[in-house]
Chain A
Amino acid sequence: MSNTITIFRREFASYFNSPIAYIFIIAFLVLNSGLFMTSFFLGGAADLRGFFGNLPFFLIFFIPAVSMRLWAEDKRLGTFELLMTLPMRARDVMLGKYLAALAFYLVALLGTLPLPIMVSVLGNPDMGALWSGYIGAALLGALYLAVGTFTSGLMRDQISAVILGIMACFVIFLLGIGTVAATIDGWIPGFGSFLQQYLGLSAHYDMMLRGVVSLGDLTYFVGLTVVFLSLNTLWLEGRKY
């Protein structure tokens, strides 16, 4: 645990040691709020559905950019060799890095708090939907980050890491879309719907958007996150052979 904290502290600080962190956060807030505001004033409904609804697509690009440096940067600097010869398990190092990226994302997400405050002032929003929306947004980020951390480990440079990460997140996003599932069903009957239900994103995320937090949906997000983090650890341990 203390090992994970040591790694976490260094990684989290390193986000803010460079101007990229601030550019990321500002871009995240400006783009998200901007996208949301254009429809918000036209629609006139006091909720954040538009904002949360944009996230699955928007984060496909934002999250891999946050996670791309996690391993690829260490490989470039040579510090990967240092980390892998420290007296701590690969899992501890991986968790420290992952949690640092997650904390960074949560800081960016905290920056959107003026939106629910504004909505509350202007109208009478469903507080349950707001809460579940934020829980969904956090879980969604956690899942994409696990995917991005994994792809960063596979690649030597950050550009390849971010592109592979975007593609992997995009696949998870696509599998959840009804028309895609239907097309796959056309090739192999039942397979598309199976993927949509167990791997696809939207079925689980959309429930949270509506204010329903079910155990099944939580299991989906946490389970898939754990799967990708475990793959990452396996790769770290298998790498030396």
Chain B
Amino acid sequence: MIEVRGITKSFGTMLALDDVSFGIGRGEVLGFLGPNGAGKSTTMKIITTFLAADSGSVKVDGIDVLEQPLAVRSRIGYLPENVPLYLDMNVHEYLSFVGRARGLSGSRLDERLDWCVEACGLVTEYKKTIGELSKGYKQRTGLAQALIHDPDILILDEPTSGLDPLQIIGIRDLIKSLAGHKTIIFSTHILQEVSPVTDRVVIINEGRIIADGNVHELAQEAMGSDRVFLGVQQDAATVESELRALNAVEEVHALPTESGCRFEVRGSFAHDLTGELAILATGRGWQLTELHPAPFSLEDTFIALTRRALAGGDQGSRGVA
């Protein structure tokens, strides 16, 4: 649905994007991750035709953004990072304006207005002046604006920035409910926001894509080994030597505990580490107090990938991509 190929963009002497490529299929939801200033917004601005790349190409639904920008724009609903609101209008006037500007009129416009206001939870604020709305409602109005023409593609730049936890969950649920019908790219620098919504992430840092793929696969790739926590009511030294004897186990770290012993066991993804530890423990008749896999979080992955990109430059940084 969206094909970004080798785009480069510089502002003056600052290189904002350096050979950025990724793709996203119809109905897919993509989390676009990266620290502030990594190039997320610039990429989105290029996809939405607000900016043009210096080189490379972007195709939306098979249409080149430079050749037919109007056709591309009509397919996209876009929420820029700086929510574009006319503060002197009320919510109804503003959404009607955007709807008309996007070619809606008559009963179709009314229908879409009703849907957006309902979906974005704006019913009570419908007749209020936008300048007087709270930050959360302003953000929702911005989101409603992006949805008004029922676009196939949604591009949301930091849709949850500056919202409180409840509002974040609201926006997240809305994105989830749209997933499947629409192709969605949303950017964020808050990692926890990605996993509840989608598995597919693209991570960008300093203008380069450093990872592209499934969150779990990326974690495996980046961290190199699986991790399991094991607690046993037994002599620590015995357990540790038994653990080290296992093929699947690569590293064993003792952890502090009040009784018995506790370990962080790391091993390759090729083995079922948790299963093997369970077999070992039951075979030896150990009394288990804890045994659970501890997959790496997006934070761990992100930090590992960013470090690796810094250290290795290009080499290995495209491992999964």
Spell out A's residues near B (CB within 8 Å): 3, 6-7, 9-10, 13-14, 17-18, 77-82, 84-89, 240-241
Contact = CB atoms under 8 A, between A and B. Distances in A.
A17 B73 contact: no
A81 B49 CA distance: 10
B101 A7 contact: yes
The interface size bin for chain B is: 20 to 34
Interface centre among A9, A17, A89 (most CB of B within 10 A): A17
A82 B98 contact: yes
Contact of A78 (B73, B84, B98): B84
B50 interface: yes
A3 B97 CA distance: 11
B50 A17 contact: no
Interface string B56-93: 00000000000000110110101010111111110001
A82 B52 contact: no
B86 A79 contact: yes
B256 interface: no
B184 to A, nearest CB: 16
B51 interface: yes
B82 A81 contact: yes
Contacts, number: 66
Contact of A88 (B71, B101, B145): B101
B103 interface: yes
A81 B88 contact: no
B48 interface: yes
A80 B52 CA distance: 16
B82 A78 contact: yes
A85 B76 contact: yes
Given A6-B97, A17-B89, A240-B50, A86 B84 contact: no
Contact of A82 (B70, B80, B87, B88): B80
Contacts of B98: 82, 86
B51 A240 contact: yes
Contacts of B51: 240
Given A84-B50, A89-B70, A240-B51, A78 B101 contact: no
A51 B184 CA distance: 59
Contacts of B74: 87
